[in-house]
C-alpha cells in the first residue's frame, strides 16, 4: 500500500512538471489577421521590439506592444536577457530619445484589444492561449 | 696618466675595484638593456591591455549605440574614451564604413597602431553592427614606457653600484687589507730573533691564516738553515786557522806550483829551506821551482807533462845551496787540482849525512881507515861498469902480500901487528892519488885499485916506491923497530883481462910469482904464462 502511494506521488510530480513545461512551451508574436504581413524573422522581431526599426517587412510602421505578465518570458526567449538588463537598456536611451520602449499592456485582454483594432500592432502571447483572429508571425521557443 | 697607471699596478684594491666596476658595468649595461627592453615590451603590453580594457568597458554602450545608430550615445562613448590620455582618437564605424562617431584629441601627438574591435549587436551575439577603432597616443605610451624603464634603470644602477661597492669593500676588508697588513709586519719582522708573523685578526683559520703559517714555517726553515750555515762557516774558519797554523809552523816546507812549475805559495819552512828565509814575494816575477835545486830534483818536464801531473805523488831528492850551506831536501809533489800541484819538502840533510856515514862505515876497515872487502868489491863493481862503458880505460890492481908478517904478530903481539897494519895503511894512503882506492881485505891482505889513466911505467914506479917505503924500518910506539918486506902483483883491466873477477885472480897470481921469484919485489901479470883458472 505505501508502495502504491509512493508511485502515485512520483507520477503526480512527473505529470506536474510535464504540464508546466507544456504550459510555458512557446511564445508567439502575433498580428491582426487583416495585416498583409505573413511572418517576420527573429532578427526583425529583435529590431522592432528593441527599438531599432519600427517598421514591418511591408514598410508599414510597426507598433510593438508589451504584455506585463509575459514580458520577462518573452525577452528571455527573444534576446536571452532578464528584465533588469532590458530595463537598463531602455534607461540608457531615455536621454538620447533616439528610441523608446514598446507600449505596455497589463493584461492579455488589453493586448488583444489593441491588436484587434490596429493592423500594425504586434504583440506576443502564450502559444497555449492563442486568441482568435490573430496571425502568428514568429514562434519563439522557450527551450532552456 | 702614468701616475694613475703606476698606482693602478701597485694597488690591488684599486685594480680589483676597477675590474669589478668594469665587470659590473658591462653586466649592468647588458642587464639594463635587456631589462629595459623587456620592461618596454611588457609596458607596451600593459598599454595594449589597457586599451583592450577601455574597449571592454564601453563595449556594451557602444553595442547599444551601434545597434540603434544613436549618434548621441556613440558620441558619449567616444568622448568618454578620449578622456583617457592614452587614447588619441576613438571612432565607431558602421558596417558600410561611414563613421557613427569620431573624436580626436586636439594635440600634436603622434598616433600609434590603431586597435579595432568588432562591435556585435547586444541582442544577437554573432551579428556585427559596427567596429570600434581606437588610435593610441604613441607619445603618451612612450612616455609611460620611459617612466617605467627610467625607474627600472635607476633601480638597477643603484643595485649594481651597491653590489660593486660592497664587493670592493669586501675585497678590501677581507683580502687587500690583511695582505698589506702581513706585508708591513713582514717588513718589520726580525726573523733571527725567532719572531713570528701574527695572522691578521679574524683570519686565523682561513687561507690568509694558512699563508701566514706557511710564511712562518718558511722563516723557520730559513733561519735554521742560516744558523746551520753560520755554524759550519765558523767550524770551517777554525779548521782553516788550524791548517794555517800548521802550514805556518810545520817544519816541513809546503808549497804550491802552477802548471808551469812556478811557485804560487810557500810556507815559512819552505822559505827557510829554499829561499834562505826570505818570504815569497807574490808581486815579484814567479820563481820556477826547478831553478832552486843545485843538484837533483825534478826537471820542468817531469813536473809539468800531462802524464806526470796525472800520476799520484812523486818524490825527488834535491840539493839546495852550495858548500857548507848545502842542504838535502826530499820533495813530494802531488796534483792538487787541474793546473795546480802541491808539494811537501823535508830537510833530509842529517839523514842523508847519517846514511852516508853508515855507508862509509860499511865499506871502511875500522882498524886502518882504508876500504874493506865490501868497499873493494863495490869499487870493483863500479869499475866493471866503467869498463863496459869505456873499454879503452885501463884500471890497474895491485895486490900486496907482506913477507913474514905472521912473525910480527908472533914476536911482538897482536897489538904491535895492528900498529904495523896502521902504518902500512898510512903509506898506502900517502902513495894513493885522488882516484886511487886502497883497501885492506882482511889480515895483512892489502890491495890498491888505481886510476885508469896510469901508464904501465908509472905503475912500476909506484910499486917500487911502495916497496921502498915499506922496507923502511917501522918504529912501534913501544920503541921497537920492525922490518917488513912486501910482494906486489899487478894486473891491468882492459889489457890483461876484461873481467874484474879475473883481474883479482890475475893480480893474485902475479903477486905469488913475485913471492916465488925472490920476495920483496913486484911483478906484472905475464901474458905468456898461463894459469889454470
pLDDT > 70 in chain B, percent:
98
- pLDDT, one tens digit per residue, over B498-513 is 888 899 999 999 999 9
Which helix (DSSP H) or strand (DSSP E) does residue B211 occupy?
A: helix B207-249
Q: Is residue A28 within 8 Å of residue A115, measured between CB atoms? A: no
In a domain, B182, yes or no: no
Give the whole-angstrom CA distance, residue B396 versus residue B457.
12
CATH number for B133: 3.30.450
Cβ separation of A93 and B68 shorter than 8 Å? yes
Clarify whether residues B347 and B382 are in a common domain: no
DSSP SS3 for B321: coil
Q: What angle do CA B200, B203, B206 make, to 5 degrees?
A: 145
Cβ separation of A43 and B68 shorter than 8 Å? no
Clarify whether residues B301 and B422 are in a common domain: no
In a domain, B177, yes or no: no
Cβ separation of A99 and B121 shorter than 8 Å? no
Say which residue the cell 513545461 belongs to: A21
β-pairing, A63-67 vs A103-105, is parallel
In a domain, B158, yes or no: no
Clarify whether residues B381 and B512 are in a common domain: yes
Question: How many residue pairs bridge chain A and chain B with CB atoms within 8 Å of each other?
Answer: 38
Test mutation, A42, A44, A45, A46, chain B, max B CBs within 10 A:
A46
Quote the pLDDT of residue A11.
Answer: 64
- DSSP letter at B498 equals S
Quote the pLDDT of residue A3.
Answer: 63
- DSSP letter at B137 equals B
Give the whole-angstrom CA distance, residue A27 versus residue A93.
27
Instruction: Pick the closest to residue B522 from B479, B493, B499, B491 (CA basis).
Output: B491
- Domain with B368, as residue range(s), is 363-524
Number of domains in chain B: 4
Test mutation, B60, B68, B80, B125, chain A, max A CBs within 10 A:
B68
CATH number for B519: 3.30.70.270
E strand map for B373-459: 396-403, 437-442, 445-450
ipTM: 0.76
Q: Which residues contact A12 (CB under 8 A, 6 or more apart)?
A: none
Q: Is residue B166 within 8 Å of residue B21, measured between CB atoms? A: no
- Mean pLDDT for all residues in chain A: 83
Give the whole-angstrom CA distance, residue B174 versus residue B196.
21
Clarify whether residues B225 and B335 are in a common domain: no
Domain C-terminal end among B203, B231, B249: B249
**What is A25-140's CATH number, 3.30.70.260, 3.40.50.1820, 3.20.20.70, 3.40.190.10?**
3.40.190.10
Grid cell for residue B12: 690591488
Say which residue the cell 563595449 belongs to: B59
- pLDDT, one tens digit per residue, over B371-381 is 999 999 999 99
Cβ separation of A78 and B123 shorter than 8 Å? yes
pLDDT surpasses 80 at A136: yes
Cβ separation of A99 and B68 shorter than 8 Å? yes
Instruction: Pick the closest to residue A127 from A26, A39, A19, A40 (CA basis).
Output: A26
Quote the pLDDT of residue B27.
Answer: 84
In a domain, B2, yes or no: no
In a domain, B498, yes or no: yes
Quote the pLDDT of residue B293.
Answer: 84
Cβ separation of A98 and B70 shorter than 8 Å? yes
Clarify whether residues B303 and B416 are in a common domain: no
Q: Which residues contact B111 (CB under 8 A, 6 or more apart)?
A: B88, B89, B135, B136, B137, B138
In a domain, B432, yes or no: yes
Of B69, B73, B123, the CB nearest to A92: B73
> Which residues on neighbouring strands pair with residue B531, listed in sequence order?
none
| Chain B residues within 8 A of A45 when measuring between CB atoms | none
**Among positive and negative, which fits the CA dihedral A123, A125, A131, A132?**
positive
- Order the strands of the B99-104 sheet from edge to edge: B99-104, B87-94, B128-136, B115-120
In a domain, B174, yes or no: no
By CA distance, what is B77's nearest residue in A? Answer: A92
Q: Is residue A40 within 8 Å of residue A57, measured between CB atoms? A: yes
| Chain A residues within 8 A of B64 when measuring between CB atoms | 89, 92-93
Q: Which residues contact B531 (CB under 8 A, 6 or more apart)?
A: B509
**Among positive and negative, which fits the CA dihedral B415, B416, B421, B424?**
positive
Query: Whole-structure pTM over 0.90, yes or no?
Result: no
Q: What angle do CA B121, B122, B126 make, to 5 degrees?
A: 50
- pLDDT, one tens digit per residue, over B268-311 is 888 888 888 788 777 888 888 888 888 888 888 787 776 655 66
DSSP SS3 for B339: coil
Q: CB neighbours (10 Å) of residue B142?
A: 17
In a domain, B24, yes or no: yes
Say which residue the cell 817544519 belongs to: B251
Clarify whether residues B389 and B333 are in a common domain: no
Where does residue B504 rank: exposed (0-12), middle (13-18), buried (19+ CB within 10 A)?
buried
Cβ separation of A96 and B72 shorter than 8 Å? yes
Band (B239; pLDDT cuts 50, 70, 90): very high
Q: Is residue B215 within 8 Å of residue B186, measured between CB atoms? A: yes
pLDDT surpasses 80 at B182: yes
Amino acid at each position: 500500500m505505501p508502495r502504491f502511494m509512493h508511485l502515485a506521488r512520483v507520477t503526480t510530480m512527473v505529470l506536474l512538471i510535464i504540464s508546466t513545461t507544456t504550459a510555458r512551451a512557446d511564445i508567439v508574436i502575433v498580428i491582426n489577421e487583416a495585416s498583409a504581413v505573413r511572418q517576420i524573422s527573429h532578427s526583425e522581431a529583435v529590431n522592432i521590439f528593441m527599438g531599432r526599426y519600427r517598421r514591418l517587412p511591408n514598410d508599414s510602421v510597426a507598433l510593438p506592444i508589451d504584455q506585463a505578465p509575459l514580458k520577462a518570458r518573452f525577452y528571455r526567449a527573444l534576446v536571452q536577457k532578464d528584465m533588469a538588463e532590458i530595463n537598463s537598456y531602455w534607461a540608457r536611451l531615455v536621454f538620447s530619445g533616439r528610441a523608446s520602449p514598446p507600449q505596455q499592456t497589463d493584461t492579455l485582454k488589453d493586448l488583444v484589444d489593441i491588436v484587434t483594432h490596429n493592423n500594425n500592432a504586434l504583440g506576443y502571447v502564450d502559444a497555449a492561449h492563442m486568441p482568435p483572429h490573430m496571425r502568428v508571425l514568429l514562434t519563439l521557443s522557450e527551450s532552456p | 696618466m702614468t701616475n694613475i697607471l703606476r698606482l693602478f699596478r701597485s694597488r690591488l684594491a684599486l685594480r680589483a675595484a676597477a675590474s669589478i666596476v668594469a665587470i659590473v658595468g658591462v653586466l649592468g649595461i647588458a642587464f639594463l638593456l635587456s631589462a629595459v627592453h623587456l620592461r618596454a615590451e611588457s609596458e607596451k603590453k600593459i598599454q595594449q591591455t589597457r586599451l583592450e580594457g577601455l574597449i571592454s568597458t564601453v563595449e556594451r554602450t557602444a553595442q547599444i549605440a551601434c545597434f540603434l545608430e544613436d549618434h548621441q550615445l556613440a558620441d558619449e562613448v567616444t568622448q568618454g574614451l578620449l578622456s583617457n590620455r592614452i587614447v588619441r582618437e576613438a571612432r565607431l564605424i558602421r558596417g558600410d564604413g561611414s563613421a557613427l562617431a569620431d573624436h580626436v584629441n586636439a594635440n600634436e601627438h603622434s598616433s600609434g597602431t590603431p586597435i579595432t574591435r568588432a562591435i556585435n549587436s547586444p541582442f544577437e551575439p554573432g551579428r556585427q553592427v559596427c567596429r570600434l577603432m581606437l588610435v593610441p597616443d604613441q607619445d603618451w605610451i612612450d612616455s609611460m614606457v620611459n617612466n617605467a624603464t627610467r625607474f627600472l634603470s635607476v633601480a638597477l644602477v643603484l643595485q649594481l653600484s651597491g653590489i660593486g661597492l660592497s664587493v670592493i669593500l669586501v675585497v678590501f676588508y677581507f683580502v687587500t687589507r690583511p695582505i698589506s697588513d702581513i706585508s708591513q709586519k713582514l717588513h718589520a719582522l726580525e726573523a733571527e730573533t725567532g719572531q713570528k708573523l701574527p695572522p691578521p685578526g679574524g683570519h686565523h683559520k682561513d687561507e690568509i691564516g694558512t699563508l701566514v703559517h706557511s710564511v712562518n714555517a718558511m722563516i723557520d726553515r730559513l733561519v735554521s738553515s742560516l744558523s746551520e750555515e753560520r755554524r759550519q762557516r765558523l767550524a770551517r774558519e777554525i779548521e782553516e786557522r788550524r791548517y794555517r797554523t800548521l802550514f805556518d809552523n810545520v817544519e816541513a816546507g809546503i808549497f804550491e806550483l802552477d802548471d808551469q812549475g812556478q811557485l804560487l805559495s810557500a810556507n815559512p819552512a819552505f822559505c827557510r829551506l829554499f829561499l834562505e828565509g826570505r818570504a815569497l814575494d807574490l808581486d815579484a816575477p814567479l820563481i820556477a821551482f826547478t831553478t832552486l835545486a843545485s843538484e837533483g830534483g825534478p826537471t820542468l818536464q817531469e813536473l809539468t807533462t800531462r802524464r806526470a801531473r796525472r800520476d799520484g805523488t812523486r818524490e825527488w831528492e834535491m840539493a839546495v845551496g852550495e858548500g857548507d850551506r848545502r842542504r838535502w831536501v826530499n820533495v813530494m809533489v802531488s796534483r792538487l787540482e787541474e793546473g795546480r800541484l802541491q808539494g811537501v819538502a823535508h830537510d833530509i840533510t842529517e839523514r842523508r849525512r847519517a846514511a852516508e856515514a853508515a855507508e862509509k862505515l860499511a865499506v871502511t876497515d875500522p882498524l886502518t881507515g882504508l876500504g874493506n872487502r865490501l868497499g873493494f868489491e863495490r869499487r870493483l863493481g863500479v869499475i866493471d861498469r866503467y869498463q863496459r862503458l869505456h873499454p879503452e880505460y885501463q884500471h890497474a890492481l895491485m895486490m900486496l902480500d907482506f913477507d913474514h908478517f905472521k912473525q910480527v904478530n908472533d914476536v911482538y903481539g897482536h897489538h904491535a901487528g895492528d900498529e904495523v897494519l896502521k902504518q902500512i895503511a898510512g903509506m898506502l894512503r900517502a902513495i894513493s892519488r885522488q882516484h886511487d882506492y886502497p883497501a885492506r881485505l882482511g889480515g895483512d891482505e892489502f890491495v890498491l885499485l888505481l886510476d885508469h889513466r896510469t901508464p904501465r911505467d908509472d905503475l912500476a914506479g909506484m910499486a917500487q916506491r911502495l916497496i921502498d917505503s915499506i922496507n923502511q924500518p917501522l918504529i912501534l910506539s913501544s920503541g921497537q923497530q920492525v922490518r917488513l918486506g912486501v910482494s906486489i902483483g899487478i894486473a891491468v883491466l882492459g889489457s890483461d883481462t876484461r873481467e874484474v873477477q879475473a883481474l883479482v885472480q890475475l893480480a893474485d897470481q902475479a903477486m905469488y910469482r913475485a913471492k916465488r921469484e925472490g920476495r920483496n919485489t913486484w911483478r906484472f901479470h905475464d901474458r905468456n904464462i898461463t894459469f889454470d883458472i
